[in-house]
Amino acid sequence: MSEAAPILAAEAVVAGYDERDVLHGVTLELHPGEFLGIIGPNGSGKSTLIRALTGLLPIRSGRVLFGGEDVAAIPTRALARRLAVVPAVSAPTFAFSVREVVSMGRHPHLGRFTNPGVADERAIDEALELTDLVQLADRAIDTLSSGELQRSVIARALAQQPQVLLLDEPTAHLDIGHQMATFELLVTLSRQQGLAVLCISHDLNLAAEYCSRVALFSVGQVYALGSPHEVVTEQNLRDVYGTLVSVEDNPYSGQPVVLLNRASPPQEEL
102-121: which residues touch other proteins (CB under 8 A)? 104-105, 107-108, 110, 112-113
Q: Which stretch binds other proteins (CB under 8 A): 87-95, 182-190, 232-240, 243-251?
A: 87-95
Could you give the CA distance from residue 197 to residue 30 in angstroms, rounded to a whole number? Answer: 8
Could you give the CA distance from residue 255 to residue 101 in angstroms, rounded to a whole number? Answer: 36
Q: Is residue 143 a contact residue for other proteins (CB under 8 A)?
A: no
Q: Is residue 64 a contact residue for other proteins (CB under 8 A)?
A: no
CB of 80 to other proteins, least distance (A): 3
Q: Are 208 and 258 in contact (CB under 8 A)?
A: yes
207 by Cβ neighbours in 10 Å (0-12 / 13-18 / 19+) ranks as buried
- Name which position in 81, 173, 202, 238 contacts other proteins (CB under 8 A): 81
Q: Concatenate the DSSP letters of all residues of 152-215 into one string.
A: HHHHHHHHT--SEEEEESTTTT--HHHHHHHHHHHHHHHHHH--EEEEE-S-HHHHHHH-SEEE
- Name which position in 49, 71, 84, 222 contacts other proteins (CB under 8 A): 84
DSSP single-letter state for residue 106: G
CB of 78 to other proteins, least distance (A): 8
Q: Is residue 172 a contact residue for other proteins (CB under 8 A)?
A: no
Site string for other proteins, 3-32 (x = CB under 8 A): ------------------------------
- Name which position in 90, 135, 192, 235 contacts other proteins (CB under 8 A): 90
The nearer residue to other proteins, 80 or 240, going by C-beta atoms, is: 80
- Name which position in 24, 63, 87, 132 contacts other proteins (CB under 8 A): 87
Question: What H or E segment, with its residue span, contains residue 248?
Answer: strand 245-249
Q: Are 99 and 124 in contact (CB under 8 A)?
A: yes
Dihedral sign computed on CA atoms, order 177, 180, 183, 188: negative
The nearer residue to other proteins, 96 or 223, going by C-beta atoms, is: 96
CB of 155 to other proteins, least distance (A): 13
Q: Site for other proteins (CB under 8 A): how many residues?
A: 39
With b meaning 16 or more CB within 10 Å and e meaning fewer, what string describes 23-57? beebebbbbbbbbbbbbbbeebbbbbbbbbbbbeb
- Name which position in 44, 131, 152, 160 contacts other proteins (CB under 8 A): 160
The residues facing 10 across adjacent strands are 28, 64
Q: Is residue 134 a contact residue for other proteins (CB under 8 A)?
A: no
CB of 116 to other proteins, least distance (A): 10
Could you give the CA distance from residue 30 to residue 11 in angstroms, rounded to a whole number? Answer: 12
CB of 258 to other proteins, least distance (A): 31
CB of 141 to other proteins, least distance (A): 9
Could you give the CA distance from residue 47 to residue 69 in angstroms, rounded to a whole number? Answer: 22
Residues of this chain that bind other proteins (CB under 8 A): 51, 54-56, 75-81, 84-85, 87, 90-97, 99-101, 104-105, 107-108, 110, 112-113, 137-140, 156-157, 160
